[in-house]
């Protein structure tokens, strides 16, 4: 299942983020803000528990999040979304997966993995700004399944139809939340119109 955020506050930020003249500092701020909107949408059905709470006026019942979350940024660009995710889920654990696309074939080359094995029932949230061919996302999800994760969501900023289709086909159980669904990939496997290389724009390495 694929959810595309439809909201003017998101569209506004995506437009600023696409702008080639947006400098890394502002780019990172926009990534943070959009990621919080994505988290808000993606975590609607998170597990909760009811608790007693005493306000200065009266006793009442309240709700607390009751979920074991493991955040999994795909290096390097996924790190740009991590602060925002930890802001809304401060008790989440973090595992990382290193993945680099082959520049000619776009095949993902895994180079690092440090993710805690699943104990059972945790929610794994993979974060990566770009979903292009879907190779990196599918590989990351497959690695998590091997580690025992069965509840997995994928959050990203800009997705190509090709990438969404690949995740839906290979991992139909994984929900994909995106801030914008773009037109297509170009011959170099970049998203059109996209925003260029997300890692370079986050880390100022253009």
Q: Which two tokens stand for residue 98?
A: 């290193």
Q: What's the CA gap between 143 and 70, in Å, rounded?
A: 14
Q: Which of 18, 22, 93, 101 is catalytic?
A: 101
Q: Which of 132, 137, 180, 202 touches ligand URA (CB under 6 A)? A: 132
| 105 is annotated as an active-site residue | yes
CA neighbor of 75 nearest in space, from 164, 139, 165, 146? 139
Interface mask toward ligand PRP for 19-58; x: CB under 6 A:
----------------------------------------
Tell which one of 135, 167, 194, 202 touches ligand URA (CB under 6 A). 194
Of 4-12, 20-28, 63-71, 74-82, the segment contacting ligand PRP by CB under 6 A is 74-82
What DSSP string describes 71-123?
A: EEEEETGGGGGHHHHHHH-TT-EE-EEEEEE-TTT--EEEEEEE-PPP-SSPE
Name the residue with tokens 């007693």. 52
* 178 is known as an active-site residue: no
- In the complex, the smallest distance separating the C-beta of residue 206 from ligand URA, rounded to whole angstroms, is 11
**Any contact of residue 190 with ligand URA (CB under 6 A)?**
yes
* Parallel/antiparallel/unpaired status of strands 59-65 and 48-54: antiparallel
Q: State which H helix or E strand residue 75 sits in.
A: strand 69-75
Which tokens belong to 40? 């808000």
> By C-beta, is 88 or 106 nearer to ligand URA?
106
**Kind and range of the H or E run holding 111:** strand 108-114
Closest to ligand PRP by CB, 67 vs 153, is: 153
Pick the closer one to ligand PRP by CB: 68 or 170: 170
Is 18 annotated in the active site? no
**From residue 79 to residue 118, what is the string marking binding to ligand PRP with x (rule CB under 6 A)?**
--------------------xxx----x-x----------
């Amino acid at each position: 299942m694929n959810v595309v955020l439809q909201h003017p506050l998101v569209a506004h930020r995506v437009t600023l983020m696409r702008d080639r003249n947006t400098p890394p500092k502002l780019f990172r701020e926009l990534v943070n803000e959009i990621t919080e909107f994505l988290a808000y949408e993606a975590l609607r059905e998170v597990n909760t528990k009811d608790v007693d709470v005493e306000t200065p006026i009266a006793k009442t019942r309240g709700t607390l999040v009751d979920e074991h979350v493991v955040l999994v940024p795909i290096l390097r660009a996924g790190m740009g979304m991590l602060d925002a995710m930890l802001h809304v889920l401060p008790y989440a654990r973090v595992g990382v997966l290193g993945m680099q696309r082959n520049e000619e074939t776009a095949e993902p080359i895994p180079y690092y993995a440090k993710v805690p094995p699943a104990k059972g029932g945790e929610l794994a949230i993979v974060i990566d700004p770009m979903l292009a061919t879907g190779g990196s996302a599918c590989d990351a999800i497959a690695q998590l399944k091997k580690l025992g994760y069965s509840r997995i969501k994928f959050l990203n900023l800009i997705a190509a139809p090709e990438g969404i289709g690949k995740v839906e086909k290979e991992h139909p159980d994984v929900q994909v939340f995106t801030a914008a669904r773009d037109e297509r990939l170009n011959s170099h496997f970049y998203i059109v119109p996209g925003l260029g290389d997300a890692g370079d724009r986050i880390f100022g390495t253009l």
